[in-house]
Amino acid sequence: MSNLDKAILAIAFSTVSATLPAQWGHLQTSSAPAPRSRALLAYDYVGNRTLMFGGNWSNEFWSLSGGTWTQLTPATRPSARARANIATNMITGEILLYGGDTGSAQFANDETWLWDGTNWQLQAPANTPGGLARHGMAFDLVRQVNVLFGGRRNSWIPSQASDLTWEYTAGNWVQVTVNQPPPALTDMAMSYHPVLQQVMLFGGQRGGSQGASDETWIYEGTSWTRINVTGVRPAARVGASLVANLSRGVLVLFGGRDPVTMEIFNDTWEHDGVNWVKVDNVYGGIYPPRADVAVTHDFMRDRLVAFGGVDANGAMLDDTWEYGAQFQPFGMGCPGSAGVPALVGGLPARIGTTTSADITNLPPSSPVAFLAVGLSRTQSVHGSLPMQLGSSGMPGCRSYTSADQIFTLPASGGTATWAWDVPNVPSLVGQALYLQGVSWDPGVNAIGLTVSNAATLVIGH
């Protein structure tokens, strides 16, 4: 075991608690959509990409792939709306959209749309739940039906909240008669739970003036059952996102708002089939905190993706975030004879796997480079960070990491690669390491060294 392994394991085991660390990080993208809230995100299993519909009562349609947002213009698509909902058939890849309001009409619509991987198609079911907005939807993977619950029939009147359960299968909506359903709710969070193999619902606004809910319910096709949560659980809220991570067998709950105080929650929770577990974050959450954010699970890359929302001051946002192992560059390098060395992320830092990073723009003839890995980006044995290195013979260079361990890496053709076997220890999830490349460049300055930018490496599942 390396000194690095020993150091991070010591920290991890000294901080083990019922609270897990999380892995939210900002994703740099190109061609981002305009700022918006209440958009709908879904993963396209056919095209292996994230799709976004609407937001701000629009009918824009976008895809996210390879860090680039691209606006799509299919031949047909739903009209502009907000507060609709979608569910993805994880077997066929079809995405079902129902309802929503237009922002100007008093009543919500009752349209059913299906995305087949190429185009949106307006369906013509014999029965529908009627005009609805602010409802919950999820695809039941075991029974292979879309489940819809609650919502507001008249989108402007709180007392019109519904407590009805509907299922969509074989091209038609069917109302399910259930015993003791949840109370009439709007703006609840709802998803299929891969461990329980049932649909789960959390929170939401109760009908009338009854306030927000902090209840957790599950549905198996005939009955809703309220789970008696004995431990910690998320606070009552509306408008949170609940997304299944199929590979890990958990539901991830993020955000939402207190409808009375209007406080925006910037917390993350996971449900493992038994308990709710509070998730802390090395970055503190998504910043700025926001409500009405769209979230989905990128199945191929095994990461949650979040977009947009509205902050506490009412400003719309257009940034993209991911929940998973992170490689977040920061700082700047200093010029060498082949340009400014760059530290570039490679394989993600997941427990039990090998992570990697490349140092590029090295002198082509250089046989080695170095990687400094530290547990702090604010303090080192030599003082506060970042630290100017001019007095050490490296003018214009800065140190960004505590450099608890230095790795010597073979270089070839101007590139050196660092690889590290991340220990398969769950308590390491969320642990941050701070990396910076060092280029051996004789003659470039008094000591023949330059440095790259730095990066925060966050260990994930």
Check whether residue 183 and residue 256 sit in a common domain. Answer: yes
C-alpha dihedral sign at 164, 207, 183, 256: positive
Q: Which of 323, 358, 378 is the last residue of a domain?
A: 323
Check whether residue 375 and residue 250 sit in a common domain. Answer: no
Per-residue CA distances from 212 to 186, 251, 368 (Å): 9, 20, 60
Q: Is the pLDDT of residue 3 over 90?
A: no
Which two structure tokens, joined as six digits, stand for 123?
Answer: 């369906």
Check whether residue 255 and residue 371 sit in a common domain. Answer: no
CA contacts within 13 A on the Cβ side of 3: 9
Give me the sheet containing 49-53, strands edge to edge: 40-44, 49-53, 61-65, 68-72
Q: What percent of the chain has pLDDT over 70?
A: 92
Which two structure tokens, joined as six digits, stand for 309?
Answer: 């929302």
Each residue's pLDDT tens digit, 228-276: 878 889 999 999 999 999 888 999 999 999 988 999 999 999 999 999 9
Residue 134's CATH number: 2.120.10.80
Residue 391's CATH number: 2.60.40
For residue 417, how far is the Cα from the chain centroid?
A: 28
Q: What is the pLDDT of residue 14?
A: 46
Task: Please provide the average confidence, as pLDDT, over all residues in the chain.
Answer: 91
Cα 194 to Cα 420: distance, rounded to the nearest angstrom: 31
Check whether residue 374 and residue 292 sit in a common domain. Answer: no
Q: Which of 269, 304, 323 is the last residue of a domain?
A: 323
Check whether residue 309 and residue 360 sit in a common domain. Answer: no
Check whether residue 137 and residue 178 sit in a common domain. Answer: yes
Check whether residue 393 and residue 303 sit in a common domain. Answer: no
Token match 């619509």: residue? 109
Token match 């359960």: residue? 165
Cα 299 to Cα 49: distance, rounded to the nearest angstrom: 9
Check whether residue 411 and residue 340 sit in a common domain. Answer: yes
Q: What percent of the chain has pLDDT over 90?
A: 75
Which two structure tokens, joined as six digits, stand for 289?
Answer: 């905190």
Neighbours of 261 (CB within 10 A): 7
Helix (H) or strand (E) holding 187: none
Phi and psi torsions of 419, nearest 5° = -130, 140
Q: Which of 259, 293, 323 is the last residue of a domain?
A: 323
Check whether residue 66 and residue 124 sit in a common domain. Answer: yes
Q: What is the pLDDT of residue 159?
A: 63
Check whether residue 306 and residue 409 sit in a common domain. Answer: no
Please give the residue range of the domain that contains residue 387.
Answer: 327-458
Domain assignment present for 7: no
Q: Give yes or no for a contact between 40 and 60, defined as CB atoms under 8 angstroms apart.
A: no
Helix (H) or strand (E) holding 14: helix 3-14
Cα 203 to Cα 211: distance, rounded to the nearest angstrom: 10
Hey, which residues does 142 pair with through a beta bridge?
A: none
Each residue's pLDDT tens digit, 163-221: 999 999 999 999 999 988 999 999 999 999 999 999 999 999 998 667 899 999 999 99
Angle at the Cα of 345 from the Cα atoms of 339 and 350, rounded to 5 degrees: 160
Q: Is the pLDDT of residue 18 over 50?
A: no
Check whether residue 299 and residue 347 sit in a common domain. Answer: no
Q: How many domains does the chain have?
A: 2
